[in-house]
Each structure stands twice: as structure tokens, then as C-alpha cells.
Structure 1
Amino acid sequence: MQHIDTLIHARWIIPVVPEHSWHEDHALAVHDGTIIDLLPAAEAARKYRADVSLHLEHHALIPGLINTHTHVAMSLFRGLADDLPLMEWLNHHIWPAERRWVSPDFVHDGSRLALAEMLRGGTTCFNDMYFFPDETARLAAENHMRASIGMILIDFPTVWAADADEYIRKGLKLHDDYRNHPLIKTTFAPHAPYTVSDAPLQRVATLAEELDVPIHMHVHETADEVAASVEQHIMRPLQRLDTLGLVSPRLLAVHMTQLDDDDIELMARLGGHVVHCPESNLKLASGFCPLDRLLKAGINVALGTDGAASNNDLDMFGEMRSAALLAKAVAGDASAVPAATALSMATINGARALGIDAETGSLEIGKSADLVAVDLGGLDSQPLYNPISQLVYATGRDKVSDVWIAGKHVVKDATLTTMDENMIRHKAVAWGEKIRAADEQQ
């Protein structure tokens, strides 16, 4: 018998690749943080002797979920200013709160709260855009979480940087610090076409090519953004990005609620990725991403939650369900975006967008053991005809029992193994009391 680290027997194993497939009564063999085999349970028992052997009789084992658009530190603004029009929400609440509170300590505590929430909900990788990204990267590395950390860029000065040169310089240092890290990657993260001018964007396009990293950016989020670009630049935002060299397989265009046929054709032809954030778009009334049309055009679409200030959670199970249901309504077609496609958007599509699909995003031999066990044995999961449909339409993050990242057991029996939940809760409550008192004085 071959000696290995971990052998996980599960009622269903859903590899995601190929889509719409699952294995019943199989086992996954893991050694040195890597998936080395996927085989029938009886055969696994004869072939492997494991240090740890788990029997998950009522569980589905799936790839770790990938949250492809976050502002994790903003978890400390969760619920601060709900049910307001977008510009009132930004101008009178979120931006004043950021000016007052954002600091290394704020980002550290907000990111830690978000990481704990995401891990417990089955998210093993996130793609972030926020200030003090060094704090977020350090926390992710310390807690063995996979992350793509944004090298933020914006035209105006903030507590993080004074101008484009300083933003880029600090971003490049972050990239150098984590260049060889097994779990932490970096992306360029210019905020949006309307907040970053041409020269810095051209520099990002050049540097992204040189360093071989993605570009993560809000694009076509609202109708006002598109109209303002046409007035100022005589072209739509996506067209402008194309003239600057940013539309390519490196681009992760987030939101994309305001698209015409030419926009879709451009993204399909040049290989850009779209990151769909259905719940944030709904809450802020930003518009509807034409998800079914994008997928039928061959565009890779991943899923993100956005920040907890505009969602208000970091729940990828909720995003899968919302994405699938909303796509059917927008397309007027009940067959649009089936459950298996929604699961792909939350896993392998995110990995493809971030350029890490050789490492994670599916349960394939040779890939990292980024795994999530979901208990489907409860009354609210019965009867069960199709485990993929059950995961997307009838299951929540509260059913996640165990999570592994690169073979490390980071959530065990629904409990974090790398973080102190009571301390995180105490810090979040203390921040909430300070922020609420200040906001009430606005």
C-alpha cells in the first residue's frame, strides 16, 4: 500500500472539470498538498494507507470557491449605509468613512474578519482591491489562504499614496515581496476608467505585460459612468481601455452591467474576462450584466461578491444562486446558466481569470488540494436528485463543514483552525461602535 497524507471518502465528489459531472462513493487522495488520485472508495482503501482518513458519508466534496472581486477590509462597513442611492451612499457615507478610518489597523482587522467569513463559507481564494494591500497579503499568508492582492491605483491622493507614481512604486514592492510565494499572487488594480487617467493606465498595460500579471478593474458598472466617458472621451469606457492596450486576456472587467453588442464582441475577440457581482449590482441598482449573452459569446465569466459594504456578505453560495436565477430572468430563458455553469463560475472560471487554473479551481490530479466539504445530509437537502443543483439552489454556506487549502485543514468541523473567532468578533464589534457614532454625526 502507498503511504499518503490524507484520504477523503465522500458521498459525492464534484470535480467541476468536466462540467455537469460527479462521482459517487469515491475518494480523493492527497499528498504534500496535492491531489494525487481520484478513484472508487473500495479501490482507494486497498491502494492507500493515509495518516488521516475521513469518511464523509453525507457530503459533497467540491473545489475551493474563488471570490474573484473583493474589497475585504470593507467588512468593517457592513450595513453602515443601506438602501440608499449609489451616489448618496458613496458621497455621504462610504467615502467620508474611508477618509476618517482607513489605516493599517483598519485594513488588518477588516481583512481578518473577511478572511474568517470567507473560509467558513468555503472560499479558499480571493482577488482583492483596496488600500494597504500589504496588510491583507500578510494576513492571507499567515492564515494559509490563497489570494490575488491588488496593486491599487487611482488618480487622487489617499492615505496609501499621494500620486500615480507612489501607487505604482508601492504596488511593485508588494509584487516583489510575494513574487515566489506559493499562495499569494498580485494583480494590477486600477480602480476604474473614470478614476485613472490615460498615462497611468498605459503604464499599467506595459508593466502587466512585463510582469505577466492580470489587471483587475471596475468597468461599465453604471449607466452614468458610460455616459460620462462618451462625453469626456468621445468613446465608451471599454473602447478607451482598448485604445490604451488594456483589453486582453489579462483584463478582469468587474460588473459590466452596461454592455452593447460591440462591447461583447470586443471582449470575446480580445479574450478579456468578466467578473459578475450579481448581489452588489442588485443592491446598488447598477444594472444587469447580460450573463447568458457573455457566456454564449465564449467569454470567461467568474463570480465575485464585491465588498461587504454593498452586498452585505461574502457568501459565494449566495452569489451562485443569485447569478443563475437572475440570468434566467434577464435572458427570459429558464435554461440559461444552469447550476453546473454557476459552480464553474465560482471555481474554475475564477482560476482562469486569475491565471491560476493550472493550480486550483477543479479537482484534478496534479492540482493543489483546495477542497470544500458540504454536508447535504440534512432535512433541507432531501430528497436529492442532482448534487450540483442541490449545491446551487438549495444549499448555503452554513453547510460547509471542512475546508482544505493546499492540503492544510483550515476549517475542521465548521471551526477555523488558524484564527481566533472570539477575538475577531470582539475587534469587529469595537470598530462598529466607533464607526456608527461617527457616521451619525455626518
Structure 2
Amino acid sequence: MGLFSFGYDSFMDKRNVDTLLEARWIIPVEVEGTLAEHAIAINNGLIEAILPISEANSRYYSSNHIKLDNHAIIPGLINLHTHAAMTLMRGVADDLPLMAWLKNYIWPAESRHVDTCFVRDGTMLACAEMLKGGITCFNDMYFFPQAAADVVLECGIRAGIGVVVIDMPSAYASDVDDYIDKGLAIRDHCLQQPLLTFCLAPHAPYSVNDQTLTKIMILAEQLQLPVHIHLHETKDEIKNSLAENGVRPLMRLHKLGLVSPNLIAAHMIHLTDTEIELFHEYGGHIAHCPTSNLKLASGIAPVEKLLQKGINIGIGTDSAASNNRLDMFAEMRLTALLAKGYSDNAEAVPARQALRMATLNGARAMGLDQITGSLSPGKAADITAVDFSSSSLSPCFDPISHLVYVAGREQVSHVWVNGRLLLNEGELVTLDEADIMQQARRWQHRLVS
């Protein structure tokens, strides 16, 4: 019997399934190791079985029988922190520290240009990039979330949509209550959409006051929603919090009741041992964004120390305006390398752990680990195929190591979400890439002018 095979009576005829997918290697993630020469049976959007190819061919048949003889099959990558629509501002202001970047360039550009069309076109551009890079799910935080949700449903990717809240008016909302009311109305409207989940998304402690954070805490408990927030990203954030509030940002959130298993804290770079212990005790999750942290000179997160405490860490790209790529292969590699260099420990964050951080850990943070994040019967068929046939990936002694240290997003050949093929031989199935690029050029001209 195959490691994951189930529910088969040897006297039955072959079972017809929607897709039968064979590969050189299957990497389940939830169960450590690699399955060589195995197949996945997919039916009604779910993984029905994972078993050796010979057994799969004797038990199942499908009119959609795909053989990927030189590929590794992995769970779809999960981008735990991003602002998808900001992909239209890729490179608009580089080589600046965070607050100068935000105050002098990003926030002014947003006040002039961000509307429903901007968010739709920017999210479409981001989804195209993410799907081509093997990302099947992203956790978003941005204005006009209905436009982002519409794009997700149109292209077939999976997403967590943030009910964004910030203590300043915008073209999207006039005040805190308006942000919350509009966001929750979108959530209510989309409750039956299996590809969409929602979280409360207060921007950051420095842009949201205590009264607003208390509202967020109450709503999170009432509705059982995650809270997605930027936290401990820069030294200045902490210094200003001490000056204005008398405590560091994490302790402020703790006093307001927000540090809990519902919390997804993006960045978490500057932490004391006491804060790490507190975060572990209350069960929060971290979205680690190594490239953005480096590019904005925010710092390097103590990933090894956090993992040693058992804190769940996923990986995010942040926005393409601060990264400047939505490339989870690059983030996996940098996560592993930075942890080793920062800790003087070559065994810190081995390849298998980096892959888990980019898949199952992200799903767990979003409350989706029973649905996605690993390859297992009963879970959604959110699958990425990576082509190992290139000379640059030869020889291969360990496919998991190769995925983190050698492969790049250019090797992604196929992507399925909920069993639906969205990328076929590197070509987008549900999105018109030429039209997306045309719209991006139009926005470039507007932003420049």
C-alpha cells in the first residue's frame, strides 16, 4: 500500500478521477521526506490519494493523466504577508528607509491614485506574478478589498483578504468605523466563497490608536478572525512607542488583549528575550519578510531563536514596492541563509524547515492548515510543480535541498488551486498576461505624471 493511499477495495474497478498526476518526486511537507515515483489522484478539488505510480495506474484512471517525469511536486507556496495591489508601484521609490519611503513617496502616491481600478489592476498583476512563481495563496492587506476579492475569484488563486484599518481617511474610507463596516460587509458577502478567507488588518501600532485596537480585539474574538498587523519592524517604531505610550509596541498590544493565537505579526525584527517568551506563551504567528527587511534596512529577525521557542513562522514577500519581487523561492533561500549567518549556526533553518515555513506554517497562521499547506488526502489540491530538467539543477542528490538552494520561480511549470489548473507549462490559464502588462504600463504613465 502507498504511504497515503486509502479507501480502496482491491475487487473494485478502476476509479475515475478528475486528474491523475505522476511525478519524479512528491514532497508532502506534513510528513517529512520525499516520495519518489509517486502519483496524486485529484477529484472534486481535493487530493484523494498519494501512492506509487504503479498502484495509481492500477486503481485510478483519468482523461487528464499528467506525467511530470522530471519534476518535484510540492504544496502550493503561501505568501503570508503582502500588499498585492502595490505591485503597480514596483520600483517607484527605492533605496530608502521605511518611514521616508512611506511618508514621502508611497502615501502621497496612494492618496492621488489608489481607487477600485488601481487595486483591481495591481492585484491582477500580482496574481499573475505569484501564480507563475508557484504561490497558490496570499495574505493581503490593502484598500478597496472588494476589488482584490473579485480578482481572486476571477483568476482562481486562494487568498486571505484583510479588513484594512488605519487612523486616517483615504479614498476608500472616511474613518475607522467606515473601514470596519465596509470590510466586514465584503466578508459577509463572500462567506460562501471557498477560495476566500478574511482577517482584520490594522496597519500598525503607530498608525492605529488604542481605541481602534480595542475594537479590533473585540471583533476578532466575536468573529474568530485573525488579526494581521505590522509589528516591531524598525527601531524607530519601538523608540517612538516608548516615547508616546511608555511601552514597546508588543507590550502595548498585549495589554489590549491582541497577542493571541489569532495574531499574525509581520516582520517582528527587534525583539527582547522577554518579548519572544511572551509571544510564545500567547501563541501568535509571525510573517517573516527577509528581503523587504533588508531592502528597507529594517534589520534581521532572530528566526532561529524564535523557532527554538516553538513559535510558528511563515514567510511573506511584503509588497513588490518594497521587495521588489513576489518571489517565494527567493524568500525561502534568504530565510535559510540569513538564519545561518545571523546565528553562526550552519544547521539553523535547514531546507526542509524553510519549505515548511513557506507552505504549512503559513497555512497554520491563516487558520487554513486543515485545507492547504501540505499534500495529504482530504486536503485541497493546491499544488505546485517544479521542473528539475535544467542543467542548472543537475545533479540532484536531495530535491528538498534543491528547492530551497538551487531552484527558482522560473522552474515552476504547473500550478493547481483547488484542483483547477491555473498555470500550464509556465503559461497562465485564467489570466491574460498581455492585457495585464498593458494595464501596468498605463498605470506607470499615470504614476510618473
Q: TM-score, normalised by structure 1?
A: 0.98
2:92 maps to 80
Correspondence 1:14 to 2:27: yes
> In the alignment, which residue of structure 1 is the partner of 2:238?
226
How big is the shift at 1:316? 0.4
Report the secondary structure of 2:17's partner residue: strand
- Where structure 2 has 5 or more consecutive residues not aligned to the other structure, the ranges are 1-13
Corresponding residue of 1:52: 64
- Please state how far the C-alpha of 1:318 moved relative to its aligned partner: 0.5
Give the structure 1 partner of residue 52 of structure 2.
40
Q: Deviations over 1:79-116 (max 9, x none)?
A: 11111233332222111111111111111111100011
Q: Secondary structure at the match of 2:310?
A: coil
Quote the offset at 1:162 in angstroms: 1.1
Q: CA deviation at 1:436?
A: 2.1
Which string of whole-angstrom CA distances, capped at 9 and with x for unpartnered residues, describes residues 150-206 of structure 1? Answer: 000011111111111111111110110111211101000000011111111111111
Q: 2:189 aligns with which of 177, 195, 207?
A: 177
Q: Are residue 377 (structure 1) and residue 393 (structure 2) matched?
A: no
Mapped partners of 1:5, 1:415: distance in 2: 21
Query: Which residue of structure 1 aligns with residue 168 of structure 2?
Result: 156
Work out which of the residue numbers 130, 134, 156 in structure 2 matches 1:144: 156
**1:419 aligns with one of 417, 431, 434:** 431
How do 1:262-281 and structure 2 match up within 5 A? 262-281=274-293
Mapped partners of 1:256, 1:397: distance in 2: 26
Q: Please provide the CA RMSD for this pair.
A: 0.8
Q: Map 1:253-402 onto structure 2 (within 5 A).
A: 253-402=265-414
SS across alignment from 1:230: helix
CA distance in 1, matches of 2:99, 2:307: 31
**Cα deviations by residue, 1:199-256 (Å, 9 ceiling, x for unpaired):** 1111111111111110000000000001111111111100010111100000000001
SS in 2 for 1:59: strand
For residues 215 and 63 of structure 2, the distance between their equivalents in structure 1, rounded to whole angstroms, comes to 50
One-letter identity of the residue aligned with 1:391: L
Code of the residue aligned with 1:47 in structure 2: it is R
Please give the alpha-carbon distance, in whole angstroms, between the structure 1 residues aligned to 2:92 and 2:376.
42
Aligned to 1:97, the other structure's residue is in SS state helix
CA distance in 2 between partners of 1:90 and 1:172 (Å): 27
Which amino acid in the other structure matches residue 444 of structure 2? G
Tell whether the 8 Å contact from 2:20 to 2:41 is kept in structure 1 after alignment.
yes
Task: Name which of 101, 111, 136 aligns with 2:113.
Answer: 101
Q: What is the one-letter code of the residue matched to 2:242?
A: V
Query: What is the number of equivalent residue pairs in this alignment?
Result: 436
Alignment of 1:194-205 (within 5 A): 194-205=206-217
Q: TM-score, normalised by structure 2?
A: 0.96
Partner residue in 2 for 1:252: 264
Mapped to 2, the partners of 1:85 and 1:129 lie a distance apart of 21
User: Structure 1, unaligned stretches of length 5 or more?
Assistant: 438-442
Query: Pick from 49, 65, 89: which aligns with 2:101?
Result: 89
Identity %: 52
Code of the aligned partner of 2:25: W
